[in-house]
Structure 1
């Protein structure tokens, strides 16, 4: 199972939110590239980036810090937030991004997901963010009637690289991930599922790993707060 350290970008800074609320922001580093390098130095195999402003704006906003991270770090990197058209997908992949994450458009324009996954094999992931099992879009500000499992199954034949499942009510709250829901989703589809939201301890990582169906986990606040030691976590997941 792969651990993806998260760098959430707001106004050029590395931040964490609570429950996706842009008003509940903690700035952890005003130099996101330096933060990324510290994760790489600790042994991470991937980086997970989110353009929070972009998720609300519907277009990239924090391009400068993302590009600085891509220039400084040589590990594979995935990015979500404000990526809603083919031109933006192609531009980011051309700039060295390993994988784009499509969230809002997966609900509003699923054909784009299919088109992108076909054009860029293994470089397109779908971000499914949910409250009580229903998908939320546009920076989590809008809740839909679409059920997570139904949407995930609809992409079964699209060739996407992964599904990133976030339980919004767990995100940034340090209360543990929704293991049961994440594992149920992973068992319902053949697409690799990455857990996000609430991963706050080595015990959480072990529990996710022990399901034997979850391919990865994203953690942010716990790494910044020191609740998870990245080197210990890497050892746990690789043994």
Structure 2
């Protein structure tokens, strides 16, 4: 399996996950042109894609969905609530019949040779979902837009080979920054976003010897920066009561503007 971030951040998200035979996107929150350029670095074209998995209907996750999926006739998979949100998005445009496929959290389905396990996440959207994807004995997951996590989240992220994990904001930067009070409360709330510290704590709960690749993503442009997210998560792991040390992790921060390195498991 391969996983690669084409874009990850509060301004737009698009993640590629695939095998030799099956090619998927998780979210299309950037322009069609940028998605195509990202796929090109993977030696892929839009026609090669087997499906688009949408986590939720916020614009930074579906901005390019209408134009891109229309052009290549790519099936769209999302929960019923998310599909309703997508259909009400003003930038979607008229969609052909038959592209929408409703799915349910905790009900796995298969595309090509990849088994997909949607799981509930806590975010202020209609019916948001994270995704765990498995091919043979290998598994990866995309877990962003988590206001909080619990044992259910941890269960869905156990025994992974690679993970894209949200490290959205530094709490201090957010608290002293220029966002209005209501927005700060939303981000800090149980249906908002994971802070760097919480990201590190969640990582501690899912770390095991075979989790070889960790990508931190969905960073806030205003309330975080890459080095701070990286160092904070690393420190959380080092200080936690486990045998792992932050400096030993194969971890990097996904960029909002450029394609990440390709993770192969």
Which bin holds the TM-score, normalised by the shorter protein?
A: 0.3 to 0.5
Is the radius of gyration larger for structure 1 or structure 2?
2
Bigger fraction of residues in strand: 1
Q: TM-score, normalised by structure 1?
A: 0.43
The normalised TM-score by structure 2 is 0.40
Please identify which structure carries the higher helix content.
Answer: 1
